[in-house]
Amino acid sequence: MIFGDPFQIQQCMSDTKAKHLEALLETMFGVKVIITGDAFVPGERSVIIMNHRTRMDWMFLWSCLMRYSYLRLEKICLKASLKSVPGFGWAMQAAAYIFIHRKWKDDRSHFEDMIDYFCDIHEPLQLLIFPEGTDLTESTTARSNDFAEKNGLQKYEYVLHPRTTGFTFVVDRLREGKNLDAVHDITVAYPHNIPQTESHLLHGDFPKEIHFHVHRYPIDTLPTSKEDLELWCHRRWEEKEERLRSFYQGERNFYFTGQTVIPPCKSELRVLVVKLLSLVYWTLFSPAMCLLIYSYSLVQWYFIIIIVIFVLQERLFGGLEIMELACYRFLHKQSHSNAKKNA
């Protein structure tokens, strides 16, 4: 993860696991995914902004990216508590996701360090941000409407008022680092059941359908000033509110926009093959590892040591992504020092 290309190992691991989860959703649990709007340009560098209808929107988006982009390019801004989840949180640390406390004075420096790192290594990046900051519930809607009333804004029913500070900072920083081609504005909707939390999925309540509507905005069409960029983001959310109102009060699809289903950059046959291979791999790999752990004390001790290392490194250093960043800075500094000596 640290030596050589810093993303090669973690990209492979996170990419295969994400494909396995989406294969389970679509193949085993029958989730249908429908995408309308603008096409992705495969491999382009972008910021993805999306309304936060459920706590699991970020995972459901993988079905969209699996067809229209590359899962390995995606990074997600998530609340910091998720990094401590055993196994899953450790994988997200290894994938260099950006964990935030949702307090700008605490998050700004970390945002700056991570984004500068992505720009320095010239790695194509698709960064998913939820400007609303949390998922849509009765309590969060009430807080959003209180904010709207105090500031003379429209009250929303289908979205929350976005927090624009992080969004404008990320766009400006990536643009300065010449690591941004476009902003993808995605609206997600669930026409039937809406599994709000992880517990719904654990109880077998999977969404029957997920609809994604994509708007692609080339970076040169976005405003350059912070104030205008904030206003731009607010206007996108006004459009989302109306789009979702038409969705839920109408035929529960996005075809009313006049844009049909966009053709995937990867054929459905290829996607099916990838999903089946992921299912076969993880179906064989997982029980094989359990058998090894059960049968050999050496393997048991290996996993115990790995778990202890993951727990300790987070408490001592803050997470794998922080260690990766620190190692990069050290090696980068060393290479510059050696270059000066040889000059």
For the chain, what are the domain ranges? 8-342
**Does residue 264 carry a pLDDT above 70?**
no
As a whole number, mean pLDDT of residues 112-125 equals 88
Question: Helix 57-68 and helix 8-23: axis angle, to 10°?
Answer: 100
pTM of the complete model? 0.88
Top mean pLDDT of 10-14, 105-109, 174-178 is at 174-178
97 neighbors 53 (Cβ within 8 angstroms): no
pLDDT value of position 260: 58
Per-residue confidence (pLDDT) for residue 207, from 0 to 100: 93
**Residue found under tokens 């393997």:** 299
**Alpha helix (H) residue ranges in the chain:** 8-23, 57-68, 88-94, 104-120, 138-150, 165-176, 198-202, 226-249, 268-295, 297-317, 320-342
Number of Cβ within 10 Å of residue 32's Cβ equals: 14
Question: Which range has the top average pLDDT, 39-43, 85-89, 285-289?
Answer: 285-289
Cα-trace Rg, the chain: 21
**What is the model's pLDDT at position 148?**
94
User: Average pLDDT, whole number, for the chain?
Assistant: 87
Q: CATH code for 8-342?
A: 3.40.1130
* Residues 144 and 156: beta-carbon distance below 8 Å: yes
CA distances to 75, 129, 162, 236, 311 from 222, rounded to whole Å, are: 22, 17, 17, 12, 42
